[in-house]
Structure 1
């Protein structure tokens, strides 16, 4: 809070940081940005030096509109950097499930691969589907029952949903039955 604008600018240009706490401060300063182009440039620049999922997960750009952030997310999903892909998925997870055009964004997120479908990307896709289940259950069910969607992603989504306090017990029972069906189909 005591940093001047000049100090903030100088700090944001110093990368990579030596300490984890400096990365956290960097993300905190980036989250204050209000200009979409500046935010995009700063995020791309920072991701080149990022080495922790915990750090990227803190980058929310809360002052950007849904349209600006989701547009940036779409571009990040095409990136080679796994942190950029995860960040794009996270932004979709946080902003898309409540929107009327949620299906478009969820489909885009489910297609994202990064260099490969790592455990971290599978986990965040499952988390995203859990959020969709909370706000748009019909959409979530259509995705969870679709055999074209990765089995691992569907199982992770089911696990997140079953753990959630925001999902009804009736839906949890149906989800457990679907999980059993998916596991038996692998045998």
Structure 2
């Protein structure tokens, strides 16, 4: 195709039109004209090839990107970074351009796991951001990294305090509480009993917890009794 950058041409060489049709249905917020149709494992493999190269570095500076897969490649490149400060700077530069749940959730830098105290200081700033996918990313960091000895009760407060109407933010709050019910049931249950979440997110968290294999049958039975009358699904 004429007018493509070398990296765009590489992505089009990996195009799967059947996958493109399928994947577009999963991302109603993304213009199908911006979707090439490249599977995530192939994007990750291309990221490995480009990581640390001048071509890869130039690509990371070339925001905004045209195609959905370019954004996914950008996220995959950042996720491979070895320097915490470099990755953090790159993530903060990239987040304003993230416009869908799939790109947001793909962005999960491995180096963050080695810097949890420093990362913790960034999360409240992401949660307070007006951009919904920056908020979702902040929640995703709590969901990915802060369990076991790294879990703190206040993280539940952070998530419960979010007053956002966007579907993909509410859904991530629900996922976070469903996971917390699986991992920290005794600490998390009072948030459901006290109705700290809006009705839709409250019920969605219970639904996801009940569907989980990590929640006991006894806990699932009790959680079902906590469901409330829910308003319609929030708009995408």
TM range (shorter): 0.7 to 0.9
Q: Structure 1 residue 161: deviation in Å?
A: 0.5
Aligned twin of 1:165? 213
Cα gap change, 1:149/1:21 in structure 2, threshold over 3 Å: closer, same or farther? closer
SS state at 1:63 partner? helix
1:37-77 Cα shifts (integer Å, max 9, x gaps): 32222112112222211101111112122223332222111
1:96-130 Cα shifts (integer Å, max 9, x gaps): 233454211121122133xx322211111110011
Contact 1:70 1:95 in 2 (8 A): no
For residues 124 and 84 of structure 2, the distance between their equivalents in structure 1, rounded to whole angstroms, comes to: 14
Taking only aligned residues, the RMSD between alpha carbons, in angstroms, comes to 1.9
Contact 1:134 1:167 in 2 (8 A): yes
Matches within 5 A, 1:1-187: 1-3=48-50, 4-64=52-112, 65-99=115-149, 101-113=151-163, 116-179=164-227, 182-183=228-229
For residues 55 and 18 of structure 1, the distance between their equivalents in structure 2, rounded to whole angstroms, comes to: 14
SS state at 1:165 partner? coil
For residues 131 and 151 of structure 1, the distance between their equivalents in structure 2, rounded to whole angstroms, comes to: 18
SS state at 2:188 partner? helix
In the alignment, structure 1 segments of 5+ residues that lack a partner are: none
Contact 1:47 1:83 in 2 (8 A): yes
SS state at 1:167 partner? coil
SS state at 1:48 partner? helix
TM-score (norm 2): 0.70
SS state at 1:2 partner? helix
Contact 1:85 1:112 in 2 (8 A): no
How many residue pairs are counted as aligned between the two chains?
180
For residues 170 and 149 of structure 2, the distance between their equivalents in structure 1, rounded to whole angstroms, comes to: 22
For residues 118 and 49 of structure 1, the distance between their equivalents in structure 2, rounded to whole angstroms, comes to: 17
For residues 75 and 36 of structure 1, the distance between their equivalents in structure 2, rounded to whole angstroms, comes to: 17
In the alignment, structure 2 segments of 5+ residues that lack a partner are: 1-47, 231-236
SS state at 2:194 partner? coil
